[in-house]
Amino acid sequence: MLWNAHETGFRLVAGQTVGLLGGSFDPPHAGHVHITLEALRRFRLDRVIWLVSPGNPLKPRGPAPLPERMAAARGIMRHPRVIVSDFERLAGTRHTARTLKSLRQGFPGVRFVWLMGADNLAQLHRWDDWHQIMGQMPVGVLARPGSRMAARGSVAADVYRHARLPARAAPLLARSAPPAWCFVNVPMVDLSSTELRRVRAGRG
């Protein structure tokens, strides 16, 4: 299925390099903004799309209502090259591999890069169809505080060690054939949505 700007709220054209940052964003915070700006710069991306998920299959408790999280995300992420989207709701997907497939089929010729924090790389082997994720598009991994060693020693990092690009090749990632991934160390803001929710609930 081909997607158009009227349906999705954004327009992409063949040849563009576009990063995809998925998550519940419950709530979105400065750490999300920071890794987005670093990804734009380090991986030489034309755009980054925040894919605000209806729900995370790995989390037992549901997130705040999607409209609230979308509004909060748009309030904190103000950049002309960053798009906040509820594409997963539109496409009816809840698992990353299916979301990426829908985007690839719907925007032929766009060079997508899946973006994740190093903490997600450490648990990637627990995700549904994680081999399909690695095989569909390049993956950019941005280090978060305390997660570098676990990520580098993870199942996914070991299985795909042959496909890893050195950090100095980060600008080439978007135009690399998958499987390809690149781990970059960046100055990080040590924030998490989990900690922010605890503070809001009076448990921090």
pLDDT digits (tens, 9 = 90+) for 44-81: 999 999 999 997 655 667 789 999 999 999 999 999 99
Tokens representing 168?
A: 């100095």
Tokens representing 190?
A: 């040590």
DSSP letters, 96-148, are: HHHHHHHHHHHSTT-EEEEEEEHHHHHTGGGSTTHHHHHHHS-EEEE--TT-H
Task: Decide if 194 contacts 37 (C-beta within 8 A).
Answer: no
pLDDT digits (tens, 9 = 90+) for 170-203: 999 999 999 999 999 987 665 554 544 444 444 4
- Between CA 50 and CA 21 the distance in angstroms is 5
Q: What is the mean pLDDT of the chain?
A: 89
Is the pLDDT confidence value at 92 over 80? yes
pLDDT at 145: 62
- Between CA 63 and CA 55 the distance in angstroms is 6
Give me the mean pLDDT over the 128-157 stretch.
88
Residue 83: beta bridge partners? 49
pLDDT digits (tens, 9 = 90+) for 148-157: 777 888 999 9
- State how far the alpha carbon of 151 is from the alpha carbons of 30, 38, 141, in Å: 22, 19, 9
Residue 127 has φ and ψ, to the nearest 5°, of: -75, 150
Give me the mean pLDDT over the 88-101 stretch.
94
pLDDT at 59: 65
pLDDT at 203: 40
pLDDT at 57: 59
Omega of the bond prior to 27 within 30 degrees of 0, cis?
yes
59 alpha-carbon distance from chain centroid: 17
Give me the mean pLDDT over the 132-140 stretch.
98
Rounded to two decimals, what is the model's pTM?
Answer: 0.89
- Between CA 62 and CA 41 the distance in angstroms is 33
pLDDT digits (tens, 9 = 90+) for 4-33: 998 999 999 999 999 999 999 999 999 999
